[in-house]
Amino acid sequence: MKKIYLAPLEGITDNTYRTTFKEFYGGCEKEFTPFLSPNSTKKFTTREFREIDSEINDVNTTVPQLLTNNAECFLWAAEKIAELGYHEINFNLGCPSGTVVAKKKGSGLLFYPELLDQLLYDVFANLPVCADGQPVNISIKTRLGKNDPDEFEEVLEIFNKYPISELTVHPRIQTDFYKEPVREEYFSYGLSHTDIPLVFNGEIKSVSDMERVENQYPDINAMMLGRGLITNPELAFQYKESREPSAPDLERLKAFHNELLAQYTTLFSGDKPVLHRMKELWVFWRELFPNNEKAIKQIQKSKHLAEYKIAIQSIL
Ligand SMILES: Cc1cc2nc3c(=O)[nH]c(=O)nc-3n(C[C@H](O)[C@H](O)[C@H](O)COP(=O)(O)O)c2cc1C
Q: What digits encode the pLDDT tens for the residues 272-316?
A: 999 999 999 999 999 999 999 999 999 999 999 999 999 999 898
Q: Is 178 in the pocket of ligand 1 (CB under 6 A)?
A: yes
Nearest by Cα to 278 from 241, 304, 239, 242: 304
Share of the chain above pLDDT 90, in %: 95
| pLDDT exceeds cutoff 80 at 261 | yes
Residue 243's pLDDT is what?
73
Instruction: Supply the pLDDT for residue 242.
Output: 80
Residues sharing a CB contact under 8 Å with residue 183, sequence separation 6 or more, in sequence order: 144, 149, 171, 172, 173, 176
CA of 170 to the centre of ligand 1 (A): 9
Residue 200 confidence (pLDDT) above 80: yes
- CA 96 to centroid of ligand 1, rounded, Å: 10
Give the pLDDT confidence score for residue 99 in this predicted structure. 97
Mean of the per-residue pLDDT values of the chain? 96
Determine the residue of 4, 6, 10 to mutate for testing ligand 1's pocket, defined as the one with the most ligand atoms within 8 A of the Cβ atom. 10
Alpha carbons 265 and 88: distance in angstroms, whole number: 31
What pLDDT, on the 0 to 100 scale, is given for residue 129? 92
Q: What is the pTM of this model?
A: 0.97
Evaluate: CB of 204 within 6 angstroms of ligand 1: yes
